[in-house]
């Protein structure tokens, strides 16, 4: 599973519930750092030996599934597929479902981008793009900056703005890149102001929460995982911070990126029936809730994207902000070419933000390369 | 001679500058997390602690920076730091000893007891030394994966046992072994192996000691190959674990304290050994160099 | 005078070594050459596609970026490390205890480098105000710089860590080379009234040529293949190149394409292109430094 050393603890309730029904079966949970997951899984596939179940990013699951390395859940466990249709986060499900209806993995967990701010410095979170600029300028006048943490200066940080402005990377058929349209240019021009005008840090992952505590930043963007750990990790922030959904763009939408993993079964697994049963166990409402609570206990967060109905029952600070944002969140473009082409958008963003290039020119360039690869014209 | 004096002063300044990373590593290892993240940082730990090594408040997985596991307590799938240390030690020792013995034996046979075709074998070794390791890494990865050796000690040990450049190094050393001694041993009835073991190896002791050091240092620090072939904690080596933690550093600056503690523990033996055996180290690395 | 039985036994003795050498040293070379002409992603069988990998490689902007970065990095580190190494050897080359300890300080990274040391550098270069570099900037009244997040800082940071890693090594080799120059040459020159500069130019440097050649060539070859520093300092979940791919080097590019994107065919092609470049580099070096001055 992708994760860190805390992941096995998260899986404990599922393992226990599963073993109650299958007492003779041993279950082993191993975590893999995100960066190496691809390599590790591929080594396993190449040697036809390895885990029965894996978690990974949606795009990776799609890539593996199309190669035939993962089990199609709709075919192997239609009951589970139906449960997912009913209870999973629609954005997450849409991302993993293929055009022909095949589902290579079940949405496992998710995170979404949120605004975080110092409640003692900012009266209320900005609700639209102009409000954001006004709030940020006021903060800067008092010596506090703004920062973006999750996806900073990459496509992931830019993507919400793109969608909020009504733009998209590809057209609905996934056959053509439309990232050079006026809406996208508008979004990138706005995004660039964060850095050029508001001097936001340009690192790939600034210490935004630490900066929030020290006052270096008064307003920042990060992911939902901070909700459960903020008080634990930054004792100086207790009672002084709040979270809110992202500010809305010109279209009125406040779309945020939904990142997450899916749980999938490998086709070379000799224990597919058991694996499917394990999956069913994970998605039982009581097990799901216990897993989420196990994560919260150590300051982690596991938002079950397969059973969104359980989130409302969790004890989280600023839960309403989370639920509000979840209602307007999307995964990355569900097009097969995206996994190979995302770096082009990141490069365009970085050229504009880090090297001062012109958004129209850079997005045009990116679109040209993408379309050439897609075989357009 | 003003400019010369300035130059000399600048050069002297370089000396402590070289040691700064180790100093920074050492003080970070002894700072509590709260002090570690203070802006501006303290140059000496104001509240030195050993918590980054062993935290008595650690009670299991948590994000609370006061209750993080110390480096000696960190558990990955039930295995701790000492295990990774032991793995690194095992791989380093086994590969160094075996590859040196094997290479010296091969060099001995090819040089002193050549058989038809040995020159071609030697040329093959030479040719392989001209090619960079990058051309072998993809197929070796696939080979190891297909052999089912992923996560096994075999993957860490076996590919590194046949080292061409060590054979070449010993060949040079072998030229200094008098042929008479070899033939005398043969006349006494000693076979190749016996001659190698009793006559040649003792003569090669300084050369062995010299080349052992760059080989050992290389194996101890080896990161790329283990990164590809090891996922399980059971066979994880020290550089891998530190690499994982270094990757976390951007996302989690609080982890710097434990990471620096781990880095210190990883570097310390090499530093101590080096300080004790400076001359051998220097000779060794020169040996690895000039014969290359 | 070894009979055939003796030959046979000796051949048997070296067989295990050469079996391993064949499996992990020779076979991969052939296989990667073959794979470079195939489309291979580890999960299926390789499919022959001719020169397409090479074409794709040369058409990939990131490859050229990696090449440019590697060349700049290699050139900068080698130039600085050779000159500085020589200057240090001239000044700290004696046998006194003091100088020995000075050399120890420079040589330490060669011994205790690796992941631990690079992690320390990563921590020192933190973009936040608690990083050592930024706190130095603060004392100078400067704003914190994003050392690991700003493409303009990438090369300076990598070159700094690179020079730090190899300087001791060069120093030691130069000291050995200097010691090999017979003192009589210097004595004769002093009798002739040569200044220290002249001694340096006409005795030291020419006699040091073999060492210079070796240090330069070996150094450049090693820096060409740099991996650990860019990977550990700039590697991230989605990219190995750092901001705007400013830290992308040839080997991290190969690693990214081959082991993250699983395009093993292209990675093999990249490895062979690197080999060709290395040959060219070594040849160029030998021509420039080796043959020069043969009067």
Q: Evaluate whether A7-110+258-330 and A112-256+334-374 have a shared fold.
A: yes
For residue B162, the model assigns a pLDDT of 93
**In terms of Cα–Cα distance, which of A161, A196, A198, A187 is closest to A354?**
A196
Higher pLDDT pick, A95 / B136: B136
Higher pLDDT pick, A328 / C288: A328
- Model confidence pLDDT, tens digit, residues B7-48: 889 999 999 999 999 999 999 999 998 888 888 888 898 889
Q: Do the Cβ atoms of C43 and A46 come within 8 Å?
A: yes
Higher pLDDT pick, A132 / C6: A132
Neighbours of chain B (3+ CB pairs under 8 A): A, C
Nearest CA in chain C to B277: C104
Classify the phi-psi angles of A171: left when phi > 0, otherwise alpha if psi is within -120 to 50, otherwise beta.
beta
Q: Do the Cβ atoms of B267 and C7 come within 8 Å?
A: no
* Domain residue ranges in chain B: 81-239+286-290
Q: Do the Cβ atoms of C129 and A216 come within 8 Å?
A: yes
Beta bridge partners of A296: none
- Model confidence pLDDT, tens digit, residues A322-354: 999 988 888 888 787 887 888 899 999 999 999
- Model confidence pLDDT, tens digit, residues C163-218: 999 999 899 999 988 988 888 888 888 888 888 888 888 888 888 888 888 898 88
Residue of A30, A32, A232 lying closest to B63 (CB–CB): A232
Helix (H, G, I), strand (E, B) or coil at A119: coil
Helices (H), chain B: 2-29, 33-36, 81-112, 118-130, 134-146, 153-157, 164-174, 179-187, 192-195, 201-203, 205-221, 224-229, 238-248, 256-276, 278-290
Q: Do the Cβ atoms of A201 and C150 come within 8 Å?
A: no
Q: Do the Cβ atoms of A39 and C259 come within 8 Å?
A: yes
- Model confidence pLDDT, tens digit, residues C96-107: 889 988 999 999
Helix (H, G, I), strand (E, B) or coil at A57: strand
Helices (H), chain C: 4-21, 27-35, 52-59, 61-91, 97-111, 114-124, 132-139, 151-179, 183-191, 196-199, 205-224, 228-234, 250-255, 264-285
CATH of domain A7-110+258-330: 3.40.190.10
Nearest CA in chain B to C2: B113
- Model confidence pLDDT, tens digit, residues A173-223: 888 999 999 999 999 999 999 999 999 998 888 999 999 999 999 999 999
Distance from CA of B251 to the nearest CA of A (A): 6
Helix (H, G, I), strand (E, B) or coil at A9: helix
Interface of B with C in 64-93 (CB under 8 A): none
Q: Chain C contact for A215, CB < 8 A?
A: no
Return the minimum-mean-pLDDT range out of A52-66, A230-244, B16-30, B246-260: A52-66
Q: Do the Cβ atoms of C146 and A38 come within 8 Å?
A: no
- Model confidence pLDDT, tens digit, residues C26-41: 999 999 999 999 999 8
CATH of domain A112-256+334-374: 3.40.190.10
For residue B291, the model assigns a pLDDT of 42
Nearest CA in chain B to A300: B63
End-to-end CA distance of chain C: 47
Instruction: Report the CATH fold assignment for B81-239+286-290.
Output: MetI-like fold (1.10.3720)
Over 90: is that where the pLDDT of C274 sits? yes
For residue C295, the model assigns a pLDDT of 36
Nearest CA in chain C to A2: C237
Contact, B264 vs B45, CB < 8 A? Answer: no
Residue numbers in C near B260 (CB within 8 A): 119-120, 123
* Domain residue ranges in chain A: 7-110+258-330, 112-256+334-374
This prediction's pTM? 0.90
Nearest CA in chain B to C166: B18
Residue numbers in A near C235 (CB within 8 A): 35
For residue C74, the model assigns a pLDDT of 96
Interface of A with B in 233-252 (CB under 8 A): 233
What parts of chain B have a pLDDT lower than 70?
1, 287-292
Mean pLDDT of A113-126: 94
Angle in degrees, 0-180, between the axes of helices C264-285 and C52-59, rounded to the nearest 10: 70
Residue numbers in B near A205 (CB within 8 A): 250-251
- Asked if this assembly's ipTM is beyond 0.85, the reply is yes
Tokens 């006021």 locate to A138
For residue B242, the model assigns a pLDDT of 92
Q: Do the Cβ atoms of B121 and C14 come within 8 Å?
A: yes
Nearest CA in chain B to C108: B271
> pLDDT tier at A377 (50, 70, 90 boundaries)?
low
Q: Chain C contact for B182, CB < 8 A?
A: no
Residue numbers in C near A343 (CB within 8 A): 62, 238-239
Q: Which domains does chain C have, with CATH numbers?
A: 52-290 (1.10.3720.10)
How many C-beta neighbours within 10 Å does residue C264 have? 27
Residue of B65, B74, B247 lying closest to A233 (CB–CB): B65
Query: Rounded to whole angstroms, how far apart are CA atoms A253 and A250?
Result: 7
Contact, C133 vs C173, CB < 8 A? Answer: no
Q: What would the DSSP string read from start to end of B215-227?
A: HHHHHHH--HHHH
Q: Do the Cβ atoms of B228 and A8 come within 8 Å?
A: no
**In terms of Cα–Cα distance, which of A240, A256, A287 is closest to A89?**
A256
| Structure tokens, A323 | 């639920």
For residue A68, the model assigns a pLDDT of 79
Residue of B224, B242, B262 lying closest to C227 (CB–CB): B224
For residue C228, the model assigns a pLDDT of 94
């Amino acid at each position: 599973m992708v994760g860190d050393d805390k992941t096995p603890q998260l899986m404990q309730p599922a393992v226990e519930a599963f073993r109650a029904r299958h007492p003779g079966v041993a279950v082993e949970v191993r975590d893999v750092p995100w960066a190496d997951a691809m390599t590790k899984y591929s080594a396993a596939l190449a040697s036809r030996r390895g885990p029965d179940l894996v978690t990974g990013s949606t795009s990776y699951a799609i890539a593996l599934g199309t190669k035939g390395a993962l089990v199609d859940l709709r075919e192997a466990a239609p009951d589970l597929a139906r449960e997912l249709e009913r209870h999973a986060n629609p954005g997450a499900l849409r991302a993993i479902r293929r055009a022909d209806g095949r589902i290579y993995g079940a949405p496992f967990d998710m995170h979404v981008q949120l605004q975080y701010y110092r409640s003692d410095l900012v009266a209320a979170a900005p609700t639209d793009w102009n409000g954001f600029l006004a709030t940020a300028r006021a903060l800067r006048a008092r010596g506090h900056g703004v920062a973006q943490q999750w996806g900073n200066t990459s496509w992931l940080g830019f993507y919400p703005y793109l969608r909020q402005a009504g733009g998209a990377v590809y057209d609905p058929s996934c056959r053509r890149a439309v990232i050079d349209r006026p809406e996208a240019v508008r979004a990138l021009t706005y995004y660039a102001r964060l850095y050029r005008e508001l001097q936001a840090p340009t690192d790939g992952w600034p210490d935004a929460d630490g900066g929030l505590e020290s006052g270096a930043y008064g307003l920042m963007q990060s992911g939902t995982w901070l909700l459960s750990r903020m008080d634990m990790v930054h004792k100086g922030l207790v009672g002084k911070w709040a979270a809110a959904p992202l500010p809305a763009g010109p279209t009125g939408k406040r779309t945020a990126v939904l990142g997450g993993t899916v749980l999938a079964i490998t086709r070379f697994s000799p224990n597919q029936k058991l694996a499917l049963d394990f999956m069913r166990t994970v998605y039982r409402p009581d097990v799901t809730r216990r897993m989420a609570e196990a994560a919260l206990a150590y300051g982690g967060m596991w938002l079950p994207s397969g059973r969104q109905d359980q989130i409302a029952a969790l004890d989280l600070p600023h839960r309403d902000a989370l639920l509000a944002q979840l209602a307007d969140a999307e995964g990355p473009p569900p097009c097969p070419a995206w996994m190979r082409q995302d770096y082009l958008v990141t490069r365009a963003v970085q050229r504009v933000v880090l090297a001062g290039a012109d958004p129209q020119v850079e997005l045009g360039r990116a679109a040209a390369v993408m379309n050439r690869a897609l075989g357009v014209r | 001679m003003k400019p010369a004096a300035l130059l000399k002063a600048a050069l002297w300044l370089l000396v402590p500058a070289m040691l700064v990373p180790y100093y920074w590593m050492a003080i970070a290892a002894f700072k509590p997390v709260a002090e570690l993240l203070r802006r501006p940082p303290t140059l000496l730990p104001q509240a030195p602690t050993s918590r980054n090594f062993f935290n008595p408040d650690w009670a299991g997985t948590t994000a609370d920076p006061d209750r993080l596991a110390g480096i000696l307590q960190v558990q990955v799938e039930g295995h701790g730091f000492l295990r990774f240390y032991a793995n690194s030690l095992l791989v380093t020792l086994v590969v160094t000893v075996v590859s040196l013995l094997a290479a010296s034996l091969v060099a001995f046979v090819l040089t002193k007891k050549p058989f038809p075709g040995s020159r071609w074998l030697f040329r093959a070794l030479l040719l392989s030394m001209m090619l960079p390791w990058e051309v072998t890494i993809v197929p070796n990865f696939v080979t190891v994966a297909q052999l089912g050796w992923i996560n096994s000690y075999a993957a860490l040990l076996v590919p590194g046992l046949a080292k061409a450049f060590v054979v070449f190094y010993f060949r040079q050393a072998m030229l200094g072994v008098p042929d008479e001694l070899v033939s005398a041993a043969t006349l006494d009835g000693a076979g190749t192996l016996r001659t190698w073991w009793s006559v040649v190896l003792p003569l090669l002791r300084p050369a062995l000691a010299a080349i052992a050091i760059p080989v050992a240092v290389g194996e101890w620090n080896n990161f790329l190959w283990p990164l590809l072939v090891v996922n399980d904690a059971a066979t994880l080596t020290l550089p891998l674990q530190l690499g994982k933690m270094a990757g976390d550093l951007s996302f989690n600056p609080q982890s710097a304290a434990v990471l620096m503690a781990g880095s210190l523990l990883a570097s310390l033996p090499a530093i101590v050994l080096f300080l004790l055996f400076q001359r051998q180290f220097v000779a060794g690395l020169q040996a690895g160099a000039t014969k290359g | 005078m070894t009979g055939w039985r003796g030959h046979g036994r000796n051949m048997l003795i070296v067989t295990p070594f050469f079996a391993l050498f064949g499996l992990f040293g020779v076979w991969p070379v052939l296989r990667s050459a073959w794979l470079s002409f195939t489309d291979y992603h580890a999960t299926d069988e390789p499919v022959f596609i001719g020169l397409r990998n090479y074409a794709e490689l040369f058409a990939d902007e990131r490859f050229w970026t990696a090449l440019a970065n590697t060349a700049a990095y290699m050139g900068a580190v080698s130039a600085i490390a050779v000159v500085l190494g020589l200057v240090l050897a001239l000044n700290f080359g004696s046998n006194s205890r003091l100088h020995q300890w000075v050399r120890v300080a420079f040589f330490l990274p060669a011994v205790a480098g690796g992941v631990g040391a690079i992690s320390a550098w990563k921590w020192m270069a933190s973009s936040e105000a608690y990083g050592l570099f930024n706190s130095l900037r603060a004392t100078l009244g400067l704003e914190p710089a994003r050392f690991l997040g700003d493409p303009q800082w990438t090369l300076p940071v990598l070159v700094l860590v690179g020079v730090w890693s190899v300087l001791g090594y060069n120093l030691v080799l130069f000291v050995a080379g200097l010691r090999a120059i017979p003192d009589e040459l210097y004595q004769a020159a002093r009798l002739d009234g040569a200044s220290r500069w002249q001694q340096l130019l006409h005795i030291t440097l020419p006699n040091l040529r073999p060492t210079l050649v070796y240090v330069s060539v070996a150094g450049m070859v090693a820096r060409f293949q740099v991996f650990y520093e860019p990977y550990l300092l700039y590697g991230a979940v989605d990219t190995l190149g750092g901001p705007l791919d400013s830290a992308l080097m040839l080997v991290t590019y190969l690693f990214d394409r081959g082991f993250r994107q699983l395009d093993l065919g292209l990675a093999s092609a990249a490895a062979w292109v690197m080999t060709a470049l290395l040959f060219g580099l070594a040849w160029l070096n030998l021509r420039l430094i080796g043959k020069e001055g043969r009067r």
